[in-house]
Each structure stands twice: as C-alpha cells, then as structure tokens.
Structure 1
C-alpha cells in the first residue's frame, strides 16, 4: 500500500523483487544502484551471508521525479529465496505495491521457480492483495542449460502477462523491468 505524505507532497511505492534463491534479485538491485544517477538514489543496503546470499532483504530507495505535484519515490526490496526464510519473504511482501518476479531460466531450477511463485501468490492471498501488479523477468538467459521461453511461460502460467527476458548481471532488461513495474504501480493510484 503506497504511503502518501500530503505535508511533503510525496508518494512512496513499495516494489519487491521476488523469486528463488540465486535467481538474480540482488543482482537487479545492484545494477539499478550502479546505473541510476547519484541524485535520485539512496543508500543500497544488502545483508548477505559470506557466500553473497541475501540473509534478510536488500533495500534501495529511489526518487523518480514529480507527478501532479507529488514527488514519487520507490522503496525497492528483495526477498531471500531460500526455503529457510519463508516467513521473511512473507513479511517483506506486507503492504507491497508491485512485484518483479525473477525466475531462473536454468533447467535445474524449474521446480524452485514454480514453488516460489506459488509461495508468492499464497502470501499475497494471506495479505488480501490479489490485484498487486506483477511483472516477470526470465533471468539468466545467457547460461548454457536454459529452458525455452515457451517452457517457462507454460510452467509459470505467464501467457498474456508482462514478461521480460533478462541477464541481470549485464543489465539486460533490468531497467525495463523497473520502468514496467513503476508504470503499473503509479498508474494504479
């Protein structure tokens, strides 16, 4: 649920990058942080383990400019994908305005994608947020043992949904995903 501060003429939207462990959620936020101008970004906060896996969540605040007299801000979060952090994933989704689901294109991650997507929808249902805008990034399209786009679309039931083909490590579709979800959440208000 967006935060509207009338005294400051600001609207803050919460966008969460959700998906299996090691699918590229933190890589997306890192790329955004490195790419956008200093004047529009806040501090990138990442709490990771020694093996660079997200422990709790990543956070990056971004200021987008003004729409109808209101400053528009995004609070970008990632969730840890590991099964151990299931409750953390759920708590990060609380009051979410939009989601970028980052699927791992590697064939051996098929079940993880399906399981994490089902988990995300269950959490949204628990919070009574069934109409939350979601876009889908099919990430790691540059790795050797990937599923076809058709297989991923079928597995995740994405026909007719906003789908982006990505390589987050080199920035492919990272900014397009950010623009896509931003457009959807801002349009909703």
Structure 2
C-alpha cells in the first residue's frame, strides 16, 4: 500500500495496469510517457521477450512537491499478459494502491477478458487487498473496432463490483489520460480516508490531481476542457 514517510514528508503511490496480452497496457504507459514533462518523469523501463511482448513491467515515477512541502511519487507498472506469467502478475500486484484493468472491447475477446478480470480479483485477494474498496477503473480499449462491445454489454465485468468504465483507443492516445485521471481521483479519496491527506498532510484532492496533470500535455483530451478538480 501507499508508503508514507513522515520524516521526509514523502508519499509513494503504486498504480498497476492489468489485463490480457495485447489489450493495450504497455500502449497506455508509452502514451502517458510521451505526454509527461521529461523534467518530472523517470525512465520507462521495458523488458521484452523474443516475441516482443512485455515480460515484466514498465515503471514511470512522477514526482511533484505540494505547497505544504509534501513530495509525491507516482509509480506506474504493467503486468505481463501471457498466461505463463501468472506468478509475476501476482507479485507485481503486491502493495498496489490502485488498478487499471485494460480490457479488449472486441466481442471475440469477451471470454479471455472475463478470465483475466477474475484472475485479477483472485490475485488481489491473494495479496490481502480488498477489491471491493480498492480503487479500480476498467478501460474498455479498442472501442474503434467494428465488433466492440457497448456499455450495455459489460455485465460480465460488473457482477462482483461496479468499477468506473472509461472508453479508449489507446493506440491513438484517446481515453488514456481520462483513465488515469479517473483512477487517481478514486485513489486520492481512498488515501484521504485512510491517512488524512487533507487534514494531516494539507494535500487537497484539487492540488493532488492538479499538480500531477500540470506536468502532462492534456491537449486533445477531455481534461483540456475540464481542468482537474
């Protein structure tokens, strides 16, 4: 879970992008990396297998300091999608504060998508994380394809919990920032309830989101029309 260091006034937040192979997890992080100011982003590290799919994770630390002098570190990871890397997915989920589930919207991928969704819930539970209270956003990626499911066809993903759903075409950068913003809004609220970010650390939701997205190029996204609050 989030690491709070009262002495150095630092908060570290871990976000994991989870989903089937080729659903668009790495595409999301690569898109975000390109949109973030190089002065505040870390290295984007990728370890690939010989078939060019992500084997382990991508990590992108983003740093900012609030007006009250609190330093926030945001760490973004992806998990490998291949079935063979089940144990790695479980390990990467350890201590996560929030999850983006990247789903392939195509009807032909509905069964494997549901299998990975249930696998994620199981792995969260195995790590002692309560998926009923953990911030989770589902990104329905590839919504531009002809056989993409509509919002009314997602009942299989909504049986256990009712996560926020964000449509996306990640390869074009559409919905990528909106997904992260929706997740970080939920994450702030969960951390505030648990640790008193506003009352104890003087970090408001507006400043938390505003400081992060102040370093992000939001042109072309819905965030450009509605500033972070």
- Structure 1 segments, 4+ long, off by >6 Å, are none
Query: Aligned-pair distance for 1:81?
Result: 1.1
Structure 1 match to 2:164: 162
Counterpart Cα distance in 2 of 1:174 and 1:145: 21
Larger of the two Rg values belongs to structure: 2
Deviations 1:96-125 (A, max 9, x none): 000001000122211111001101100111
Q: What is the alpha-carbon distance in structure 2 between the residues aligned to residue 179 and residue 71 of structure 1?
A: 19
Moved more, 28-37 or 135-144: 135-144
Q: Does 27-36 or 123-132 show the bigger shift?
A: 123-132
Query: What is the rounded CA distance, in whole Å, between the counterparts of 2:128 and 2:43 in structure 1?
Result: 31
1:106-153 per-position Cα deviation (integer Å, ceiling 9, x unaligned)? 2221111100110110011112211211011000111232222221x2
Counterparts of 1:142-153 in structure 2 under 5 Å?
142-151=144-153, 153=154
Does residue 25 of structure 1 match 2:25?
A: yes
Deviates more, 1:117-126 or 1:2-11: 2-11
* Structure 2: tracts of 5 or more residues without a match: 192-229
Q: 1:6 to 1:99 in 2, by over 3 A?
A: same
Check if 1:102 corresponds to 2:102. Answer: yes
More strand by share: 1
Q: CA deviation at 1:61?
A: 1.1
Q: Which moved more, 1:1-10 or 1:133-142?
A: 1-10
**1:59 aligned counterpart, secondary structure:** coil
CA apart distance, 1:160: 4.5
| Partner of residue 90, structure 2 | 90
Match for 1:174 among 170, 176, 194? 176
- Map Cα deviations across residues 50-69 of structure 1 (whole Å, 9 max, x no partner): 43311112211112442753
Q: Distance in 2 between matches of 1:123 and 1:61?
A: 24
CA spacing shift, 1:33–1:50, aligned 2, 3 Å: same
Query: In the alignment, does 2:66 pair up with 1:61?
Result: no
Deviates more, 1:29-38 or 1:154-163: 154-163
Please list every run of 5 or more consecutive structure 1 residues that lacks an aligned counterpart in the other structure.
Answer: none
In structure 2, how many angstroms separate the alpha carbons of the residues matched to 1:87 and 1:57? Answer: 13
Q: How many residue pairs are counted as aligned between the two chains?
A: 188
> Over aligned residue pairs, what C-alpha RMSD do you find?
1.6
